[in-house]
Amino acid sequence: MKSMVIGGIILIVALIAGTYFIAGDAFNSDDYINSLTMLGAIAIITITVFVALKYINQMKNDTASGELAEDNWDGIGEYRNPIPTGWGLAFIGSLIWLFWYYSVGYPTNGFSQIGQWNEETIEYNKKFASKWENPSQDTLTAMGESIFLVQCAPCHGVDAEGIEGKAQNLTHRMSKDSIIHVIKHGANNFKAKYPAGMPPMMLTDEKDIDAVATYVAGGFKGEQPAAFGVCAGCHGADGKGMAYVAPNIANYSNDLVQTVLTNGKKGAIGEMPSFKGRLNPTQEKALATYIRSLGE
């Protein structure tokens, strides 16, 4: 036992020295809180080590005693020994602290900053929805521009022409490279809105892929390539999509923008994160209106 005590003292000293080596700078200030924290660390280390040594010694030297219980498993029985006093007191103390914490210390129905923030946010959203219940096109465009400059411009740029290698140019519907990427790799970003997704390589001939990508990126102008018939089966001949089947690829519709904001999007450049919860429906509609105005 003597050697274990000596070993325990050496371990305590080593742990305290390690703690001071890592966080010692914090204890050189005049802030008494840091000193109390260090004292708490020393107490925890000391108690933990000596409790561990006590039970290790007990396991090595103690013998089973007491009244043997009637129940046994494969000849192995248990003694009717009382629970350790310290454990019992700690258990009861934890229960008392639990009821105190939820009823007096921090009651669930008491004031909280998070609860206040939620209440104020809900009230503000109600006022916002009431004020902008039927906004005009000009109002939506102006509102969308403000939202775009705050939420979107850091990646897409203040002119919405995108930052090379980081975000897509939003002044026209899609870039040719983005369309080719989707044709070759498929798209399954909007499962909730379009459950079927788009499988990869619906077109396999490089000339067909190039012709379709050029036609779509060009705003559906000129002669429609025959290969676009494969796309029209889901997106429609005009590219404006079908509900729950395929999104609009002709312009930035309200539905498409709201879906991208909710789910994020993966593409040829990279991945756009989800903006779910950041904007309310009116703001999402305004953002879509502003983005469409850029192409006009």
Over residues 167-184, the pLDDT tens digits come to: 788 887 677 888 888 888
Burial of 223 from C-beta contacts in 10 A (0-12 / 13-18 / 19+) = exposed
What pLDDT sits at residue 52?
85
Q: Is the pLDDT of residue 263 over 80?
A: yes
Per-residue pLDDT at 31 exceeds 70: no
Spatial CA neighbour of 250 closest among 285, 279, 284, 219? 219
pLDDT at residue number 142: 94
Quote the CA–CA distance of 290 and 265 in Å, as a whole number.
19
What SS3 class is residue 253?
Answer: coil
Asked whether the predicted pLDDT for residue 37 surpasses 90, the reply is no
Closest CA to 84 of 105, 110, 121, 58: 58
**pLDDT bucket at 27, cuts 50 / 70 / 90:** low
Spatial distance between the Cα atoms of 265 and 191, rounded to a whole number of angstroms: 11
Q: 14-28, 175-189, 216-230: which range is least confident on average? A: 14-28
Residues near 215 by Cβ (< 8 Å), separated by ≥ 6? 221, 222, 224, 225, 228
Q: What is the pLDDT of residues 119-158, one digit of tens each?
A: 998 899 889 888 888 899 999 999 999 999 999 998 888 8
Looking at residue 66, its pLDDT comes to: 73
Q: Say if residue 250's pLDDT is above 80.
A: yes
Please tell me the pTM assigned to this model.
Answer: 0.58
pLDDT at 92: 94
pLDDT band at 233 (very low <50, low <70, confident <90, very high): confident
Question: Cβ(16)–Cβ(45) under 8 Å?
Answer: yes
The amino acid sitting at 170 is L
Identify the sign of the CA torsion 180, 181, 186, 190: negative
Q: Which residues contact 210 (CB under 8 A, 6 or more apart)?
A: 180
pLDDT at residue 113 is higher than 70? yes
Residue 138 pLDDT:
92
First to last CA, the chain: 87
User: In the prediction, which pLDDT does 285 show?
Assistant: 92
pLDDT at 282 over 80: yes
Model confidence over 47-87: pLDDT tens digits?
888 888 888 888 888 776 777 777 777 777 787 777 888 88
pLDDT of residue 30: 65
Q: 3-class DSSP state for residue 154?
A: helix
